[in-house]
Amino acid sequence: MRKAALKLAGWGRTTYAACEAARPERFGEAVAGFAADAGQNGICLYGAGRSYGDCALNSGGTALITTRLDRILGFDAQTGIVQVEPGVDFRRLMEVFLPRGWLAPVTPGTGFATVGGAVAHDVHGKNHELDGSFGQHVTAFDLLLPDGARRTVVPADGDLFAATVGGAGLTGFITRIEFRMKRVPGGAVRVREHRAANLAAFLSAMRDAAGASYAVGWIDAAARGAALGRGILETAEPIEGVFAQPPERARRVPFEFPAFALNRFSVALFNEGYFRRVPPDGRTRVVPWRTFLYPLDALHDWNRIYGRRGFVQFQCVVPFETGARALRDLLEVISASHQASFLAVLKRMGAGRAGFLSFPMPGFTLALDFPRCAGLEALYARLSAITLDAGGRVYLAKDALLDAASFRRMYPEFPHFAAVRQAVDPERHIQSDMARRLRLQDAP
């Protein structure tokens, strides 16, 4: 396995790692490369690099990039069970299976993410309340352990399954994933958009929409006072019709935007227009699956709009019981900071989760981007503290700034994870910048 000295980045482009990277194209080469001695800083798996922070980065160590292990290994059209190599991404799943009436059961908001990455963070979609997390649809996976042993792991295996799903790649190299696709009646959804004038209206609209197949809210994080928490709730139902997706007209962000392009005034202006785009009594549209599930994918490298300074995403979930209060507190801090960007999402989550370190819990999840700026660490710490006080947690797939102590309180099942990790990787062959930062390395 040939390695090259590379600087890899998290999607937010505030976290970087100088490392020895390899991108094997043959399966056997990847297996041998993973097992080889990786030195003091070990090895980490890197999928499509769509995690925002440092979970896939390994400064001073080795990174094994999985994107060229991209083959679909089998599909059973009776059961909908598909088997894939870890580097297959959600775009390809859609391209191959939607024309036959099958869709990934759960997908993150970008089709560029790999299935390996989806397992490693037990990702959720806009259908979490109804359909749960990705890991709940996984029927088996193959895991290459740090000592070179290969295991096929099924949900009934218990701890090793639960430590690996959502385990941020720290229990082994997931080399094959088997999961159940879901049937859809056509190539589009009927989307209903409602305006919500403030947070209370937003939360009650979301409660009323709890039975919707898909639901996601855009929130105006710059709004304050009486308009605090205003936004647009989108609910969607699959509809019958042709499966073909319109041709993709991809655009690329050709350069890094200058820092002044995104400021409180441009964001407020954008948000006002974005809010008013939907008439006061709402509207209904038919939208192809790809546009609905992956709205940002048509703009390649959109992370460059934040310029060279990069950005950080904060995503938390807070329980329903304490959530209304916590969201108000969070939004007040955010709008007062004048730092939020226009990309801000509010969704409801259900109980579905499949791993010890899985993010979801029943409650509200809020996600928003902040361009890097002075005081960002302090702002992030305040938001994390509000989340923690409300009994919530921060999402590791997005995180670059959480501290180890808060992490442990947010993830009470960490000791179970640590016990499995101690058993399968006592030498700490697998490492990452996140593992070192959050002390995921520690023995239980």
Partner 1 sequence: MSGGQTWLILGASSAIARALAREAAARGADIILAGRDDDDLRRTAADIGVAYGVHARTETFAALDHAGHRALAASLADIPGILNIALLFGIMPEQAAMDADPSLAAACLDANATGAISILHHIAPLLEARRAGMVVGFGSVAGDRGRLKNYVYGASKAALHTYLAGLRNRLGRSGVHVMTVKPGFVDTAMTFGLPGMFLVAQPRDVARVCLNAAAKKRDVIYVPWFWWGIMSVIRGIPERLFKRLSI
Ligand X SMILES: Cc1cc2nc3c(=O)[nH]c(=O)nc-3n(C[C@H](O)[C@H](O)[C@H](O)COP(=O)(O)OP(=O)(O)OC[C@H]3O[C@@H](n4cnc5c(N)ncnc54)[C@H](O)[C@@H]3O)c2cc1C
Binding residues (CB under 6 A) for ligand X: these are 11, 44-51, 55-56, 66, 86, 108-110, 113-114, 116-118, 120-121, 123-125, 168-169, 173-174, 296, 397
**Residue 223 interface partner, choices partner 1, ligand X, none, CB cut-off 5-8 Å depending on type:** none
Q: Which does 352 bind (CB under 5 to 8 A by kind): partner 1, ligand X, none?
A: none
Q: Which two tokens stand for residue 362?
A: 């029943």
Find the shortest distance in angstroms from Cβ 15 to partner 1: 20
To the nearest whole angstrom, how small is the minimum distance from the Cβ of residue 198 to ligand X? 24
Taking CA 168 as the corner, what is the angle to CA 17 and CA 315, rounded to the nearest 5 degrees?
85
The torsion of the CA quartet 257, 261, 263, 265, rounded to 10 degrees, works out to -160
Q: Which is nearer to ligand X, 194 or 353 (CB)?
A: 353
Site string for partner 1, 73-92 (x = CB under 8 A): xxx---------x-------
Is 27 among the residues that bind partner 1 (CB under 8 A)?
yes
CA separation for the pair 100, 300 (Å, rounded): 27
Using CB under 8 A as the binding rule, whether residue 158 contacts partner 1 is answered as no
CB of 306 to partner 1, least distance (A): 24
* CA torsion angle 101 80 132 233 (round to 10): 0
Give which of 398, 400, 390 is closest to 361, Cα–Cα.
Answer: 390
Among 83, 70, 73, residue whose Cα is nearest residue 178: 83
Applying CB under 8 A, the span of 3-11, 193-201, 229-237, 330-338 interacting with partner 1 comes to 3-11
Binding flag, residue 211, partner 1 (CB under 8 A): no
Helix (H, G, I), strand (E, B) or coil at 344: strand
Cβ at position 222, least distance to ligand X in Å: 20
Options 35, 36, 72, 130; binder of partner 1; rule CB under 8 A: 72
Asked if residue 315 lies in contact with residue 216, where contact means CB atoms within 8 angstroms, the answer is no
**Residue pointed to by tokens 């080469």:** 29
End-to-end CA distance of the chain: 34
Q: Does 68 bind partner 1 (CB under 8 A)?
A: yes
71 scored as a contact of partner 1 (CB under 8 A): yes
Pick from ligand X, partner 1, none: which does 49 bind, CB < 5 to 8 A by kind? Answer: ligand X
Picking from 356, 334, 365, the residue whose alpha carbon sits closest to that of residue 125 is 365
